[in-house]
């Protein structure tokens, strides 16, 4: 079975069943963790003379899976590396720790005789996600203020990989505050 569409996990309308304890495994709701797709959270070089912080904010509360965040990270980093190589610092702000569960159903001939349906349908861990409230920061890019157009275009391309609505905000940093 393939990956379910993002619309099945986008809304934050379910409680968080994410308790996983390495020290006391019997206290865990979730016995095993799914594979992490997002491993890199910072890229680029931080310089002292950057004068702008350009952030990608969520317009609504949304839950984003780690594989979508990884795809957006690769797209954004590739665009920035080609256009302004060596003059940016890119940071992912939230760690995907929400464990998404899925009650897998059988399909095909004779599946109704084998499958248990919705009996004990708590689900098995299938993926990880990060929950964002309204106006939470998803990504941050530190760079020069004249590179705003390049970064906003990179955010536009990366936003196509994420579910939800986003806005770009330029925050000046440095001595002119």
- The per-residue pLDDT string of the chain (177 residues; one tens digit each, 9 = 90 and over) reads 678 888 888 888 877 777 777 788 777 777 778 888 999 999 999 999 999 999 999 999 999 999 999 999 999 999 999 999 999 999 999 999 888 888 877 677 766 666 777 777 778 888 899 999 999 999 999 999 999 999 999 999 999 999 999 999 999 987 654
* Domain range list for the chain: 33-102+121-172
Judge contact between 162 and 69, C-beta under 8 A.
Answer: yes
Fold of 33-102+121-172: Aldehyde Oxidoreductase; domain 3 (3.90.1170)
Looking up tokens 């409230």 gives 133
- The end-to-end CA distance of the chain, in Å, is 53
Judge contact between 54 and 154, C-beta under 8 A.
Answer: no
Cβ neighbours of residue 164 under 8 Å, at least 6 residues apart?
10, 58, 59, 60, 62, 64, 132
d(CA 113, CA 150): 57
Q: What is this structure's pTM? A: 0.85
């Amino acid at each position: 079975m393939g990956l379910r569409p993002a619309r099945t996990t986008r809304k934050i309308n379910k409680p968080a069943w994410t308790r996983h304890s390495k020290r006391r495994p019997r206290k865990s709701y979730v016995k095993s963790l799914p594979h992490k797709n997002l491993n890199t959270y910072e890229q680029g070089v931080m310089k002292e003379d950057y004068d702008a912080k350009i952030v990608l904010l969520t317009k609504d509360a949304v839950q984003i899976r780690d594989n979508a965040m990884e795809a957006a990270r690769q797209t954004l980093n590739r665009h920035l590396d080609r256009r302004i190589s060596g003059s940016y610092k890119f940071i992912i702000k939230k760690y995907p720790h929400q464990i998404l569960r899925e009650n897998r159903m059988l399909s095909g001939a004779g599946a109704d005789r084998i499958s248990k349906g919705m009996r004990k349908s708590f689900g098995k861990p299938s993926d990880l996600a990060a929950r964002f409230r309204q106006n939470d920061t998803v990504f941050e890019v530190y760079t020069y203020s004249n590179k705003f157009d390049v970064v906003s275009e990179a955010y536009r391309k990366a936003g196509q990989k994420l579910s939800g609505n986003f806005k770009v905000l330029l925050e000046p940093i440095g001595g002119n505050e």
